[in-house]
Amino acid sequence: MQSLARLLEGQHRDLRRRILTLLSERRFAASPGLPREEYRELVLKWCRALAREGLGGLGYPAEFGGQGDPAAGIVAFQTIAFHDLSLVVKFGVQFGLFGGAIANLGTERHHVRYLPKVASLALPGCFAMTETGHGSNVRDIRTTARYDPKSRGFVVHTPNAEDRKDYIGNAALHGRTAVVFAQLEVDGERHGVHALVVPIRDARGNPRPGVRIEDCGDKLGLNGVDNGRIRFDHVRVPRTALLNRFGDVGPDGTYSSPIPDPSKRFFTMLGTLVQGRVSIAAASVSASQSALAIAVRYGLRRRQFGPPGGEEVLLLDYRTHQRRLLPAVAATYAMHFGVEQLIADYARAQTASKDQGKARRQLEGFAAGLKAAATWHATETIQMCREACGGQGYLAVNRLAALKADTEVFTTFEGDNTVLMLLLARSLLTDYRVQFEDMDWVKTSRYLAGRVLSSLQEATPAGAFLDVLFQAVPGRGEGTDVRRREVHLEAFRFREQHLLAGLGRRIKRVLDEGVGSYEAFERHGDHAVAAARAHVDLMLLERFSQVAERARGERLKDTLGTLCDLFALSRIERDRGWFQEHGFLSGGRSKEVVKAVGELCAELRPKAGDLVAAFGIPDAVLAAPITVQG
């Protein structure tokens, strides 16, 4: 299945191959069980090696030592994620977050001064946003940056213990400089969260005066990354330390910004987080692929139990085993193509000549949603792969332990998943709402219902779905082939639109009772998360189905089609309670879905080895002895 492998490699094939060849070298060999301090130094050494190969600044403008290819930067991150995940996080902190903040929030003076040194790792840095008391709630951070007109500089300060910067990668040991997010104050007036470049250590590595640094200590995973806490005691930096693309303070103390609306300005600055979310989504897919490659290959080697007197049976020949692994393989393919599209969308937005409000908001929504979906998927998939490898999967040497422990925090960082899904739901509602200037929720939901109806009518000539839509009639629609792609797409669309319309209607009802909009939204948080998940599923299915249709060659088309069906049906299966409640599935049809998932797994069973081989992870990088012995 070379064609499948080629398809997965996508546009940046040469870059991927170059990185994988590099990571296969002996000097990148994993050493599980290394003491923490040695591990941290090894990861720094690996990072330097990657920087020497020019992989650090791929996304930065060419004039500042980069290649001006934002997509390449993320593909590099995604590919490195097949290897040690502390490495990829350290890499991301330095080149993505620290460097990315300078590139995106700074102006030429910062680019010239810092980016080449960031890209070469001559200047190791931190991205100091999160505070102990304010995790995902960046708007309410409490670190201040007060403009002092006398010295014409800023004073960066941490008011209280819980306002210290926390969990900052690269802070405990290696970082020399930090991009610090703080509430900007000029002449007693607050202008919201801004970022400044603040040196935190001197050339000998000691904390600078007024800077107190603490080590976060051992973590569940990612112990090759030196996370730390930073506290500032009236630390002075020059006026030019402010990353001033979206807000500046003149020498006379005048604040100015190209974005007058403070809320819009805040969200624009936070837009720099999008790159991080795209990257984490991509890395999660890589980690899921590593885990599945290990578990499927083990399942194709290991025998256990069997008929009396007969040979023991291969694990992957057990239906229970196929049922666990193969839907996860299919979903991982869906996520892979989804991430590929997200990277392309992101790169397009980065290089667009001007900012397009709605497109940007949609990109941010998709990034938030796919980050959450892909990291939840990774957590679940790696857990399942560990169990599918039994005790062998629990041994450090077989990689799954590290994959599990390291990726586990992905659901939290770069924005907690639940928070991100709520963000996406809000954004989706806004998209619909803007079409109704009076923001009338009832109208919105009627409009949505209308859209559902018309799209169903288009899809089904006789409008047979209409009945099904409003009334659960057992037996109706049973004749439909449960494996028809249009039915899957309709099901996904129906669910997304129904959930969104319902959400809008419910919030409207609460608002009408005089409840504030924050609480109104909160009351239906679960509904909102469900709507957001349904939206991401739909995006993934639309994309996967497109990829499958456009594929060249019958065999490839066929394999992708089967995978796509399995993805769609296993999602419908999982949510079949909802689909039945809302009249999309009758009980009989629902049972057919369950049966079809089992059949698709059996169909894909002979291809299982090829399906994970196509992920293209070299043995030296996968580095799990159970895939070959034990």
Question: Could you say which residues in the range 30-89 bind a copy of itself, by CB under 8 A?
Answer: 32-33, 35-36
- Candidates 54-62, 85-93, 171-179, 213-221: pick the segment binding a copy of itself (CB under 8 A): 213-221
- Whole-number Å distance between alpha carbons of 629 and 625: 6
Q: How far is the CB of 575 from a copy of itself (least distance, A)?
A: 8
Contact 261/247 with Cβ under 8 angstroms?
no
- Whole-number Å distance between alpha carbons of 449 and 432: 12
The verdict on 251 binding a copy of itself (CB under 8 A) reads no
SS3 at position 127: strand
CB-neighbour burial class of residue 516 (10 A; exposed 0-12, middle 13-18, buried 19+): exposed
Q: Which is nearer to a copy of itself, 60 or 298 (CB)?
A: 298
- Candidates 181-189, 429-437, 483-491, 586-594: pick the segment binding a copy of itself (CB under 8 A): 586-594
Of 94, 144, 279, 586, the one binding a copy of itself by CB under 8 A: 586
- Candidates 240-248, 393-401, 458-466, 542-550: pick the segment binding a copy of itself (CB under 8 A): 393-401
Of 37, 63, 108, 387, the one binding a copy of itself by CB under 8 A: 387
Both tokens of 160, joined, read 């209280």
Q: How far is the CB of 401 from a copy of itself (least distance, A)?
A: 3
Of 357, 391, 461, 514, the one binding a copy of itself by CB under 8 A: 391
The verdict on 480 binding a copy of itself (CB under 8 A) reads no
- Whole-number Å distance between alpha carbons of 484 and 492: 13
The verdict on 160 binding a copy of itself (CB under 8 A) reads no
β partners of residue 190: 185
Of 63, 478, 519, 549, the one binding a copy of itself by CB under 8 A: 519
Q: How far is the CB of 591 from a copy of itself (least distance, A)?
A: 5
Q: How many CB atoms lie within 10 A of CB 182?
A: 28
The verdict on 311 binding a copy of itself (CB under 8 A) reads no
Nearest to 402 by CA among 324, 291, 279: 291
Q: Which is nearer to a copy of itself, 97 or 196 (CB)?
A: 97
Contact 405/221 with Cβ under 8 angstroms?
yes
Of 270, 582, 599, 609, the one binding a copy of itself by CB under 8 A: 582
Q: Which is nearer to a copy of itself, 286 or 407 (CB)?
A: 407
Q: Which is nearer to a copy of itself, 25 or 387 (CB)?
A: 387
Name 61's Cβ contacts closer than 8 Å, sequence gap at least 6. 68, 103, 111, 115
Of 163, 345, 537, 573, the one binding a copy of itself by CB under 8 A: 573
Name 403's Cβ contacts closer than 8 Å, sequence gap at least 6. 85, 287, 290, 291, 382
Instruction: Fill in the per-residue mask, 135 to 154: x = in contact with a copy of itself (CB under 8 A), - = not in contact.
Output: xxx--x--------------
Q: How many CB atoms lie within 10 A of CB 543?
A: 20
Please give the C-alpha separations between residue 343 and each of 137, 155, 271, 504, in angstroms, as whole numbers.
Answer: 26, 38, 15, 30
- Whole-number Å distance between alpha carbons of 402 and 394: 9
- Candidates 40-48, 68-76, 178-186, 575-583: pick the segment binding a copy of itself (CB under 8 A): 575-583
The verdict on 253 binding a copy of itself (CB under 8 A) reads no
